Structure 1
């Protein structure tokens, strides 16, 4: 409340630029993402022929469902906010003129800042990159070993592919996965048990398939293109284009809560 009062001249703009919002579900998710990324590196030589990586997405889906449920609950609370604490009513009236103006501010400025930040790129790009830092040190051994053996071109190709995985493939994968889970949960509100089961099964299958696509593409390019550095360069360009397109279409604020219409109160 004091924070909003101190920046009441243009609260929407200030909140969107300076307020950092991180749901508590990011804590177990961060640990789980780091653990699964490290485990994936252990099975790297078997990719994309092993099914283990797809099964590792199951606990991630569960945690992300918890995260998205908390986000939607918070959105609903902001959108329908009403003050019930009579003790601070006097302070609010002095600062905002009336309790109604304060409630409207929470329903609009705070609500919009929350939705803009938490649902546009739910985990946050920098946070996602930080969670998967183990991709870098996990590949350093492979790069050093190839370079030490004289396979400089292959070592350079691994470095190029690693940067693609680290900077945009993994963040894009989580962005797509969260969007799929959000739609799964939206359909899950349906009264039809069959529809809910089908949506859940399809969502899990699609996420599992999407997990293998980058590995399959990288393996295919290395097999088709004799020069590994050129193959890695093609992989770099193709995945970057896919990431940019995905970001353009998917990295947008969630405008409507499942089953409800998003309406703003006017001052």
Structure 2
């Protein structure tokens, strides 16, 4: 069978397409590197908080938020003991827009629900979800796992929001809670006050609380929030130039039938 050449115009188009595509793909890593927008993972306080079946969590401030920093991963560390295998945990995000807190200037209660993972069974993890004293980390791919409400998937409207957990299935002798970390430790990212939010099961009102122990510490729970930043106009311009250069080079590689 004789070797058949493509027509020159067709070859230019095909060659240009593949070259431009490879340039575009090779440029992607520079534009889509995940960043930590909140990190409190560097130093454990060797304490945990476990209020049973009550929903509770921490209001945190991200270093980047909104459509330009789409949240895709959220990880937290929990402690579990005495679990028999029927326990679950739900992760939720709230906007802090539901009224002021008396005596705390600038504070607003969790209000609009942004995200709900739905119940996640702890028995899918080793030892029925029971952990060592160091706890266990749970990672949520929030773009594909759970449901977003009142915002685009992955978009946190404000720099601050409250993330909470709620355990179910806990009975006598069973404990599940969140590990506390030192947010001021080197290497952490983002910020949070020393308090935490807890939903009063009787009134269904969010209450702002602090550590009431004899040796109080900041109630910052171990967590990691990661986002993919949106490409800047400069980066998009560089990408367009790279594609144009690739196309121009390929136009010269013409085979005439």
TM tier relative to shorter chain: under 0.3
TM-score (norm 2): 0.28
Flag the structure with higher strand content: 2
Flag the structure with higher helix content: 1
Larger CA Rg, structure 1 vs 2: 2
Q: Which has the higher contact order (CA 8 A, sep 6+)?
A: 2
